[in-house]
Amino acid sequence: MKKVQLGNTGIQVPAVVVGCMRIGNMDQEQLGKFVHSAMDMGANFFDHADIYDGGRCEEHFGTLLAEDKSLHREDMFIQSKCGIRPGRYDQSKEYILESVDQILSRLQTDYLDMLLLHRPDALVEPDDVAEAFDRLESSGKVRYFGVSNHRPSQMQLLNTSVKQTLQANQLQFSIPVSNMVAAGLEVDMDTEGSADRDGAVLDYCRINKVTIQAWSPFQMPNWGGCYVGNPQYAKLNETMEELAPKYDLDVTGLGAAWIMRHPANMQVVMGTTKAERIASAVKASETELSREDWYRLYLDAGHILP
């Protein structure tokens, strides 16, 4: 398993993250086998959020952690996210603190390795966030902090008050959904890809050593579904079927390898309940695509080069 440095922490974490948003419907036996399989592969980084299945995913995971004595909390890196409420986003001090207490209760653990703010809150008060983070850090409830779906300017706004380093930014990224690459290539052009939709977040994260966690790594734009096998991306799929054997990967692995080939040293969040898909990504983490093949996949997804 490839390891990457988490932000500025100096610690090494797996390049493949086990996304837990779909585990709520697994029974305990299925979940136990899945978690053990992931751990055996070195995929011990688990990503949660308080909204996943209304908290059931965290609750289910916590029950397993409490009942399976062969699983040791210290062998896992567990992160969760908060800030999304019905009809609104909320990064108030009170809600962050309340959310973390509830997350810890559901997960049946004393601490989170990392907490991410799930979505930018238009009404955010950086001083509120700073006070919440200080209390969570000093109490030992959270070790590290980050964000999700934030622009650089929104991170900078938080940094006016927050003293903890924001170690990660979880962002949507796949071969078709890669505007943060396209915008950096189609500079000063009147093309669709040149639109700055994220404030150059890719460059910002690289400059400031913020780890990008790529969520929905197989998603099409605008929540159109998975691109693998989809006729809308026939050319891309044809190329993936051709190239996968070259790297001794399946197409899932090739899609993950494309993301991990980027020098930003991203993590791939695999939101799956299938151990074989985790295995594909783990294998891909140890494979480096050639520059030629990386660009070929990018172009066959419909992007352009000036």
What is the rounded CA–CA span in Å between residue 83 and residue 96? 7
What is the rounded CA–CA span in Å between residue 35 and residue 273? 9
Whether 112 is covered by a domain: the verdict is yes
Whether 56 is covered by a domain: the verdict is yes
Q: Nearest to residue 103, comparing CAs of 167, 57, 135?
A: 57
**Which residues form the domain of 110?**
3-300
Whether 29 is covered by a domain: the verdict is yes
Whether 25 is covered by a domain: the verdict is yes
- Beta-ladder partners of 211: 168
Whether 228 is covered by a domain: the verdict is yes
CATH code of the domain containing 22 = 3.20.20.100
Whether 42 is covered by a domain: the verdict is yes
Model pLDDT, residue 223: 86
Whether 53 is covered by a domain: the verdict is yes
Whether 202 is covered by a domain: the verdict is yes
Total domains in the fold of the chain: 1
- Find out whether 101 and 82 touch, Cβ atoms under 8 Å: no
Model pLDDT, residue 62: 98
Low-confidence ranges of the chain (pLDDT < 50): none
